[in-house]
Amino acid sequence: MIHSLSANKSTFHRVDFTAGLNVILADRSDVSSTKDTRNGLGKSTLIEILDFCLGGSASKGKGLIIDPLKSWQFTIEITMAKKKVKVTRSVDEHNRVVISGDTTGWPEQPEVDEETGQRVFKIDRWRKLLGLVLFDLPRNVDGLPYKPSYRSLVSYFVRRRPDAYMSPFRHFRQQKTWDTQLHTAYLLGMNWEYAARWQGLKDQEDGVKAIEKAIKTGAMEAAMGSVGELETQRIQLEQQQNASQAALETFKVHPQYDSIQSDADRLTAEIHALTNKNIEDRRRLARYEASIAEEKPPDSLSLEKLYKEAGLVLPDAVVKSLGDARSFHAAIVTNRKEFLGTEMKRLSESISRRETDIADLTNQRAEVMEILKSHGALQEMTKLQERNVTLQGKLDRVETRLREMKELKEAKRKVKEGKSKLVKTAEQDHEQRWDVWSTAVRLFNEHSQSLYKTPGRLVIDVADTGYKYSVDIERSGSEGIDKMKIFCFDLAALQLQKDFRDGVDFLIHDTLMYDSVDPRQRALALERAQQVTSGFAGQYICTMNSDMVPRDDFSDGFDFDSHVRLTLNDATPAGSLLGFRFDRPTK
């Protein structure tokens, strides 16, 4: 229980709290708009200070960590784990908390500051202690992806900002679904571990969907296609890579490969040259042979016979000249035959000699080609190696993608099986814990019936996506009734915590809780809070504007003023909680 709130400045209005209902009343005469940048009377500031001392987050330039509050220190007196202590946290050193009082038996002990002698907690350890003492948080939950947080749990009992008054199950607008499911389950005595596992499976499912999306959009190289298509690619690449590897293993590099290749090229050129020369000489030889065959001596009687047939007699001189001519022509024919014979012999000998040379060169080239056939050049081997590496790389990528695709399918299957199994297990656990969560349902119904005469309903379901919660009060839909849903839920949650864990015993609401609420229900809510919390020595702290007090609607015998712990007014700056006015930083 929180006993008091004070500060190190004389202008601050100390507040002493008791069990049961505690009201901080604000008596306003000025009218301020919602866009006023000056601090008000301090209703919300009081709740902010309480939360600050209970380990609330602190950032420079926000909340209490502003220049006008430099050197301020705030102290709450609180009973924790049956020990009444004073807890002080300063604006200037908001990462440490000073403890005064007996802490014997606490699961976490403060350290002694060697310079000041003060007993202090670093803010993280202070939050850890509060989680253990107020909510009995489990110490070892390393095997779970998500776990209950002290700051999230306490935010259901110290609702500060407007977002906290929109739903019973949320304390800020952007609160994650898993956070809502897990912490509500923890508050209602359900198995919060199932909510943690649900979110773990959802994370896995989101990861699978992200990979599938990457595959569909081509963001993952060589990952297109089904498992069967990838298997076909792998088989093809394995065949190509095996052939490449075999060629590489049998490849022999000759140190003089380039020189031998040049010799082979030279021998081939010489053979071609000799062959071409033989072709030319054979053509010439054929012409000579044809010429000899066609060469004939002139007919010696043809001219004389011609003259006789004409009846002419050749003179002796002419007859002699013709004889000389015949002799000369015969000599020419004979000489030409002798010349052609000599040339034909020479050509035949040249052709024969070249054929011998061609045979020798061909044998030499055959030997060289045998070497080239069984060996290769270093450049060729390098190319073979490069191709082999390329094929191996492609094969590795396809095998990696294939493995990923198979793992993806397996992950999808496991997520689906995991969700189905978890739902079944959670449903069985839900039935087994009926006496626990049914208490929450009963309490909510009782509180709502005390306000509206017709019991409301708190519904707790197990769905495929996790726990589902809803509340309903007849005629709900108006803002006032929706606020009372939160009131009834919070009051029930406070009772459950006291019964389950004997920890947190206070509930704090801002005046926002009562905005737009019918005066009759406002009065009944305050009376209900007093009745319930005083029954187990707990406390309900709320702030309220004086014009919102439903004095005409309280039950006979209910003394509202006896529960007012502090009245603030705006007649002068001294009437505000802090005792002075200041400009808040604008965003």
Closest CA to 2 of 533, 548, 578, 535: 533
Please tell me whether residues 347 and 452 are part of one structural domain: no
Which of 359, 375, 391 delimits the end of a domain?
A: 375
Query: Using one digit for the tens of pLDDT, what is the confidence trace for 175-210?
Result: 999 999 999 999 999 999 999 999 999 998 888 888
21 neighbors 508 (Cβ within 8 angstroms): no
Residue 83, exposed/middle/buried by CB under 10 A (0-12, 13-18, 19+)? middle
Residue 434: what pLDDT?
A: 92
Which pLDDT band holds residue 244 (cuts at 50, 70, 90)? low
Instruction: Report whether pLDDT(409) > 70.
Output: yes
How high is the pLDDT of residue 479? 73
Structural domain contains residue 197: no
Q: In this structure, are 352 and 445 located in the same domain?
A: no
Residue 183 and residue 65 in one domain = yes
Torsion of CA 216, 220, 222, 224, to 10 degrees: -10
Residue that wins the pLDDT comparison between 293 and 2: 2
Give the pLDDT score at 35.
Answer: 46
- 179 & 286 share domain: no
Q: How far is it, in rounded angstroms, from Cα 544 to Cα 527? A: 14
pLDDT for the residue 101: 96
> Which pLDDT score is estimated for 174?
92
Query: How far apart (Å, rounded) are the C-alpha atoms in residues 522 and 518?
Result: 6
To the question of pTM greater than 0.75 for the whole model, the response is no
What tokens does 12 get? 């601050």
Q: Which of 532, 521, 461, 543 is nearest to 492 (CA)?
A: 532
Q: How confident is the model at residue 326 (pLDDT cuts 50, 70, 90)?
A: low
pLDDT tens sequence across 51-63 = 999 999 999 999 9
Average pLDDT of the chain is: 85
What Å distances lie between residue 496 and 130, 186, 190, 304, CA to CA? 18, 10, 11, 161
CB 195 within 8 A of CB 146: yes
* DSSP letters spanning 333-372: HHHHHHHHHHHHHHHHHHHHHHHHHHHHHHHHHHHHHHHH
**CA Rg value for the chain:** 55
Nearest to 149 by CA among 120, 186, 201: 186
Q: Which of 375, 407, 422 is the last residue of a domain?
A: 375
For 108-164, write each residue's pLDDT tens digit: 999 999 999 999 999 999 999 999 999 999 988 777 889 999 999 999 999 999 999
pLDDT at 223 over 50: no
Based on the fold, state whether residues 272 and 354 are members of the same structural domain: yes
**pLDDT confidence tier of residue 38, bands split at 50, 70 and 90:** very low
**What pLDDT sits at residue 175?**
94
pLDDT at residue number 37: 39
Which of 375, 394, 411 is the last residue in one of the domains? 375
Whether 173 and 289 share a structural domain: no
Q: What is the pLDDT of residue 319?
A: 60
Mean pLDDT of 489-499: 95
Q: Is the pLDDT score of 265 beyond 70?
A: yes
Q: Is residue 386 part of a domain?
A: no
Q: Is 474 contained in some domain?
A: yes
Same domain assignment for residues 56 and 167:
yes
Instruction: Pick the range with the lowest mean pLDDT from 80-89, 405-414, 532-541.
Output: 405-414
Write the pLDDT tens digit of every residue in 68-107: 999 999 999 999 999 999 999 999 999 999 999 999 999 9
**Domain co-membership, 440 together with 365:** no
> Is the predicted pLDDT of residue 378 greater than 80, yes or no?
no
The H-or-E segment that residue 417 falls in is helix 378-432
In a domain, 242, yes or no: no
> Which of the 8 DSSP states describes residue 560?
G
pLDDT tens-digit map of 452-475: 988 889 999 999 889 999 999 876
**CATH number of the domain encompassing residue 107:** 3.40.50.300
Q: Give yes or no: residues 158 and 275 share one domain.
A: no
Name the most confidently modeled range: 252-256, 309-313, 413-417, 473-477.
413-417
* 71, 165 Cβ separation under 8 angstroms: no
Q: Sorting pLDDT into bands at 50, 70 and 90, what band is 236?
A: confident
Q: Over the range 264-281, which residues count as b (16 or more CB within 10 Å of their CB) and which as e?
A: beebeeebeebeeebeeb
In a domain, 68, yes or no: yes
Within a domain: residue 228? no
Count of other CB atoms within 10 angstroms of residue 12 = 20
pLDDT tens-digit readout, 275-296: 998 898 889 888 888 888 776 6
Q: Average pLDDT for residues 38-45, to the nearest whole number? A: 78
With beta carbons less than 8 A apart as the criterion, state whether 544 and 483 touch. Answer: no
- For 569-581, what is the mean pLDDT? 92
Range of the domain at 180: 2-190+433-575
Domain identity same for 154 and 269: no
Q: To which residue do tokens 């009963």 refer?
A: 442
**Residue 220 pLDDT level (bands cut at 50, 70, 90):** low
Residue 311 corresponds to which amino acid?
G
Listing DSSP states for 9-36 in one string gives STTS--EE--SEEEEEEEE--S---TT-
Quick one: which of 587, 526, 573 has its CA closest to 42?
A: 573
Q: 327-343: per-residue pLDDT in tens?
A: 766 777 777 777 888 88
pLDDT of residue 24 exceeding 90, the answer is yes
CA–CA dist 389, 386 (Å, integer): 5
Evaluate whether residue 230 is within a structural domain: no
Residues 182 and 258 occupy one common structural domain: no
512 inside domain: yes
301 lies in the same domain as 440: no
Name the pLDDT band for 249 (thresholds 50, 70, 90). Answer: low
CA 94, CA 58: separation in Å to the nearest integer?
A: 7
Look at 310 and 25; give whichever has higher pLDDT.
Answer: 25
Count of domains forming the chain:
2
What single DSSP character describes residue 7?
A: E
